[in-house]
Structure 1
């Protein structure tokens, strides 16, 4: 029987709290922790720099970028494509040259075989027969160093002499530039300028230091990660999804300019998402540590 007392040290059950405490102190097992607010990207921050946008633009899928950062990304990808295209053309020329050389060798071998077959056949002398026999005996050697093969041995230290050297084929690079977040085709002309409405335009405090930076220009509600937002394509104004559902979608008219809208003119703005978590889902980080072997 186990002893039941306040300072019991002979318990038969290894409780969950004791196991969790021992695992944390031992340095083994997996640590799980819910990611806090500071680890999730704010709705008005660039998806590349993770900082508040100075000149915000949005893609058709609703991903927000700083114009300078996304244009720099597009230019970098175009330069990378140009470099890969030059390498592809160079490799393609070398393949064509190799094919032409191989064809010329085959053609020359056919000519040589034809010339040799047209020569008259003579009876070999005994000395020639002995020499041919000795040559065939030496050629039948299983050593890979005989018959001049010592210079053709593969070398794993020289790239040109590796067994798989020359097997790579030229592959034409893809000229399409993809969005770094959604991996959908991206063009600079498809970027839409975004217009945020400041909560207090007279306040000269830096945007990074403000907790509530922007508001909906129609309902005057403060915008944050907990409030779903949408961008109106014609003007770039950011409004709440509640305003879209209750006011805009009734008549499909822009509430600020009275302009007729279409379904594609309302772009839901994507929220959250960093290298640690996606939007409002799986907000839990895990640290893999060595497992305790019994």
Structure 2
């Protein structure tokens, strides 16, 4: 027996290795710990917020003060540019409509003046024939021009024109991550307890890491959700400062990522054509 049948790609069926090498089927990959954002890191610059005045958005995302201020300022400048472009477009459209209305009025007035200045023909029948012939010629020219626009669109005179529409811009600044409406007054300062590169719970002094944590807005302290259930909700006071809390003062923060595929959906999928 020849050795040809023992080659890796010489089988009669399409193997899993060949199918994967050919780029067919869904591709799955897991993100490791290095690809996950740690708790307490800025969602814009991806650097730890230690000593950088961390702020939290209403959606629970943590940002550096400098980064989020710069982002909101860039959004405001972009909004101003879009509003100016929209106003210029609206002004141009209004001017175009006024010019078209003025042109129609002029044409109507000119037709009336021409009709008043025209002498009555000696033979009414000849005049009617001429008017009918003029209408036929005009209709024929219009049909010919429309047919050329449909079939000979590459001719400069017959090239269709399309004017880009400018929609009314959104004038609200938004959270860079959740895209919810957000202003400077919505940002909340954080008082994070650091142990090296890890953030600690303000009460239990345990590492937050990938655990769920909440922000107590009046004091700015961050505690674990387990501590929230045991020590905060029964009395509705901050365990560190003793300040009174309301339900809206408890903000759930986004958890840090881990290397486990069951946490934070760290498995990515890419759908590709499937061979059957």
Question: TM-score normalised by the shorter chain: which range applies?
Answer: 0.7 to 0.9
**How does 1:145-294 map onto structure 2 within 5 Å?**
163-166=160-163, 168-199=164-195, 207=197, 213-225=198-210, 227-272=211-256, 280-288=263-271
Q: Distance in 2 between matches of 1:50 and 1:124?
A: 91
Unpaired runs of 5+ residues, structure 1, are: 1-13, 201-206, 208-212
Please state how far the C-alpha of 1:71 moved relative to its aligned partner. 1.0
8 Å Cα contact 1:253/1:259 also seen in 2: yes
Q: Does 1:39 align with 2:35?
A: yes
Unpaired runs of 5+ residues, structure 2, are: 1-12
RMSD over aligned Cα atoms: 4.0
Q: Distance in 1 between matches of 2:19 and 2:266?
A: 22
**How does 1:22-101 map onto structure 2 within 5 Å?**
22-53=18-49, 54-101=52-99
Deviation digits for residues 47-103 of structure 1, max 9, x if unmatched?
222221232100112111111111111111111111112112211221121111111
Deviation digits for residues 155-194 of structure 1, max 9, x if unmatched?
7798x9852434x444321110111221110101110111
Please state how far the C-alpha of 1:118 moved relative to its aligned partner. 3.0
Q: Under a length normalisation based on structure 1, what TM-score does the superposition of the two structures give?
A: 0.73
Deviation digits for residues 197-248 of structure 1, max 9, x if unmatched?
1226xxxxxx4xxxxx2211211111101x1101110121111111111001
Q: Distance in 1 between matches of 2:137 and 2:257?
A: 71
8 Å Cα contact 1:60/1:267 also seen in 2: yes
**What number of residue pairs does the alignment pair up?**
259
